[in-house]
Structure 1
Amino acid sequence: MLLRLLTRYLSRYKLLLAGVLIFQFASALAALFLPTLNADLIDTGVTAGDVPYIVRTGLWMLLVALGQILAAIVATFCAARAAMGLGRDVRHDVYSRVSGFSEREISSFGAGSLITRNTNDVQQVQMLAMMSATMLIMAPMMAIGGIIMALRQDVGLSWILGISIPALLIVAGLVISRMVPLFRSFQTRLDAVNRVMREQLTGVRVVRAFVRESIEEERFRLANTDIMVVGRKVGSLFVLMFPLVMLVLNVTVVGVVWFGGIEVDAGNTEIGTLFAFMQYVGQILGGVMMASFMAIMIPRAAVSAERIGEVLDSESTLVAPEHPVTDKPAPGRVEFNGVSFTYPGAEQPILSNVSFHADPGETVAIIGSTGSG
């Protein structure tokens, strides 16, 4: 459902998405070119003491870094415009669909759940679109490009990447597998908080009239505690994720320095090449880390997209007739004999064997028990 929702609404912003791809690619190329310039500066300029060469290469690095910044700014601007447009369009369609619902559909979803779906759930999908257009597109470019450039610098140290990258993916996979059910539970409990809050606000006079403040406070406390417990579990996984990622990253850097130092001491590689390889390792693992962070956001956005899709795919039971009555006859008498009314899914009717009539100009109301709302 998430992919269908993104495809449906982002297809309206093809030019902005094309701009994101072009400028993100330019930013990635600039970022990948900088370590090579740095290695050349060290091996050719610093080692030989060639000051003019150091100045020229340093200016080139400054221009490349400036180009990277400008490309990243333009890409982020295009991504933000597309993501905000997606959020606006989804909210508009959800609101339009809910506006046509009958009491049956509103009761089926719940007013609190419909509010959550048109606010928090849309925000989750919108945020995923924004982050995908910036981080998720950039991550594979940096990871794949970093691997290619690192192999160009030193093939002998590439075995370290063969260990660190799978380790990082395993850590991310274990954490994400635990987060998916928690995100679904979190959104359900958010519905409950909104429902209880809405009921208390709309029925505040009844609550005060029947002195039910303590009971309603206990209802809200239970709903609030439930979402706090689930949110704490999600936060614990987030807290666990990044130290593990940094552990893998730092161990990898230590391995590069250790075994790279042995290669430099043996004369098999140069110091500048080792520095460039370390920078590419950081870019590779940074790309994997960005992808892991996005993978954490995807499950929650997928749950939200599924909930939004349920609303958009629901059809109202209030359907306009194909051949409506256009003639307006003179006012007449309306009479009901032995009618009943049952809500969908209810075990018993709320009205049974009711008979009444309404003459022209009269108003007839069915009143429930006192305090029923």
Structure 2
Amino acid sequence: MLWKLVREHARPYTGHIIAVLVLQLVSTLATLYLPSLNADIIDQGVAVGDTDYIWRTGAVMLGVALVQVIAAISAVWFGARVSMAMGRDIRRSVYTRVDRFSAEEVGRFGAPTLITRGTNDVQQVQMVVLMALNFMVMVPIMSVGGIIMAVQEDAGLSWLVWVSVPILLVIVGIIVGLLMPLFQRMQDNIDAINGVMREQIMGIRVVRAFVRERHEAERFTDANAALTDTSVRIGRLFVLMGPIITMILHLATAAVLWFGGHRVDQELVQVGSLTAFMQYLLQILMAVMMGTFMFMMLPRAVICARRIMEVLTTPASLVEPAHPRTPEHHDGTVEFR
């Protein structure tokens, strides 16, 4: 459902999407090239005292870094334009469809859930599109390219990559599996609290006339408590992700320094290559982490897209005629028999 929804509303912005892909590719390749230049400066410049080589290679690094920054900023700008425009178009589609619903369809869905699907659900899809445009090119290229470059620097330490990355992926998979049902419950809770607030605002005179303020306050408290409980559970899983990723990054860094230090002592690898390998390993893990955040938002976006498509694919029971007939006489009167 998510792919179908995004594909239908992304067609007008194909040019912007291609620009994002190209710019992300340039930015990622430049990021992968920088550690290699840094290793050359250490091994061929600092180690032998060649100041001219340090200045030349440093100037190249500055140029590559400038290209990387410009490409990254431009990619984010185009990605933001596409995602915000798609969100606007999806909201327009939902509004247009709901505006054509009869009382039967509105009663079947309920006004609170229609409001949520046209606002909060669209926002979740919009944020996933933004994350995907920013990371869908960078993450795979950074991961695969980082592995290739790290193996080229020191194949003897490549086993650290094959150990740390699967551990991170397994942990992420477990957390995403726990988040999926919680996101569904959260959207239902948002529907519920919107329904309570809408009923209370529209029926405030009736509530006061029958002295039902305390009962309505209890209804809102229950709906609010349910939403809060679900949000806290989701927040706990998100908060747990940060320390786990940080611990894996620090353990990977410590392992590189420990085992790489022995290889430097044995003259199996140079200091610059070891530094570059550590940077590539951290880039790989950071790419996996950023991809993780995107995939953690994906379950909720899938649920939201499914709810949006339910509205967009529901036919109205009362359809306007394609060729309406105009009355012969226009005297401005209506007669009921």
Could you tell which deviates more after superposition, 124-133 or 322-331?
Answer: 322-331
SS state at 1:269 partner? coil
Q: Is the 8 A contact 1:160 1:252 kept in 2?
A: yes
Correspondence for 1:81:
81
Deviation at 1:53, TM superposition (A): 1.4
Q: Is the 8 A contact 1:171 1:245 kept in 2?
A: no
Measured against aligned partners, the alpha-carbon deviations of 1:61-93 in whole angstroms (never above 9, x if no partner) come to: 111111100000110111011101100100001
Whole-Å separation in 1 of the counterparts to 2:74 and 2:159:
36
Matches within 5 A, 1:9-88: 9-88=9-88
Matched, 1:96 2:96: yes
Q: Which residue of 2 aligns with 1:122?
A: 122
* 1:293-313 per-position Cα deviation (integer Å, ceiling 9, x unaligned): 111000000010000000000
- Compared CA separation, residues 216 and 125, structure 1 to 2 (3 A): same
Could you say which residue in structure 2 is the equivalent of 1:255?
255
- Give TM-score scaled by structure 1 length: 0.87
Verify the 8 A CA contact 1:75 1:134 in the aligned structure 2.
Answer: yes
Q: Provide the identity percentage.
A: 49
Query: Where is the helix percentage greater, Structure 1 or Structure 2?
Result: 2
Cα distance in 1 for residues equivalent to 2:321 and 2:117: 30
> Which residue number in structure 2 is paired with residue 203 of structure 1?
203
By how many angstroms is 1:136 displaced?
2.9
Q: 2:190 is matched by which residue type in structure 1? A: L
Quick check: 295-304 or 311-320, which moved more? 311-320
Query: Where do 5+ consecutive residues of structure 2 fail to align?
Result: none
Q: Partner amino acid for 2:319?
A: V
Q: What's the secondary structure of 1:267's corresponding residue?
A: coil
* 255 and 208 in structure 1: CA distance in 2 versus 1, 3 angstrom threshold: same
Query: Which range moves more in the overlay, 121-130 or 53-62?
Result: 53-62
Q: Is the 8 A contact 1:94 1:118 kept in 2?
A: yes
Query: Which residue does the alignment assign to 1:164?
Result: 164
Q: Distance in 1 between matches of 2:84 and 2:265?
A: 54
Map residues 1-373 of structure 1 onto 2, 5 A cutoff: 1-321=1-321, 324-327=324-327, 334=337
Separation in 2, partners of 1:222, 1:69 = 49
- How far apart are 1:202 and its partner, in Å? 1.0
Instruction: Give the superposition deviation at 1:253.
Output: 1.2
Is the CA contact (8 Å cut-off) linking 1:45 and 1:51 kept in structure 2? yes
Structure having the higher strand fraction is 1
Paired positions, count: 334
Q: Which residue identity does 2:107 align to in structure 1? A: S
Do the aligned partners of residues 240 and 202 (structure 1) sit closer, same or farther apart at CA in structure 2, a change above 3 Å counting? same
Q: Is the 8 A contact 1:136 1:290 kept in 2?
A: no
Taking the aligned partners of 1:158 and 1:333, their CA distance within structure 2 comes to 85
SS of 1:319's equivalent? coil
Q: CA deviation at 1:135?
A: 2.0
CA distance in 2, matches of 1:263, 1:49: 23
Q: Compared with structure 1, are the counterparts of its residues 26 and 331 closer, same or farther at alpha carbon in structure 2 (3 Å cutoff)?
A: closer
In structure 2, the residue corresponding to 1:314 is in which secondary structure?
Answer: coil
**How many Å apart are 1:321 and its aligned residue?**
4.3
Question: Which segment drifts farther, 92-101 or 249-258?
Answer: 249-258
* TM-score scaled by length of structure 2: 0.96
Q: Shift of residue 33 of structure 1?
A: 0.4
Q: Secondary structure at the match of 1:237?
A: helix
User: Can you give the 5+ residue segments of structure 1 that lack an aligned partner in the other structure?
Assistant: 335-373
Shift of 1:207: 1.2
Once residues 322 and 298 of structure 1 are traced to their aligned partners in structure 2, the CA distance between those partners, rounded to angstroms, is 40
Confirm or deny: 8 A CA contact 1:32 1:145 kept in the other structure. yes
Given residue 97 of structure 1, which amino acid in structure 2 is its aligned partner?
R
| Partner Cα separation in structure 2 for residue 265 and residue 332 of structure 1 | 101
Is the CA contact (8 Å cut-off) linking 1:26 and 1:68 kept in structure 2? yes
Larger Rg: 1
3-state SS of 1:58 partner: helix
Q: Deviations over 1:229-263 (max 9, x none)?
A: 11111001101112111111211111111111110
Residues 276-326 of structure 1: CA distance to partner in whole angstroms, max 9, x if unpaired?
000000111111111111110000000100000000001111123467554
Structure 1 residue runs of 4+, over 2 Å off? 320-333
Q: Which amino acid aligns with 2:254?
A: V
- Cα distance in 1 for partners of 2:158, 2:318 equals 65
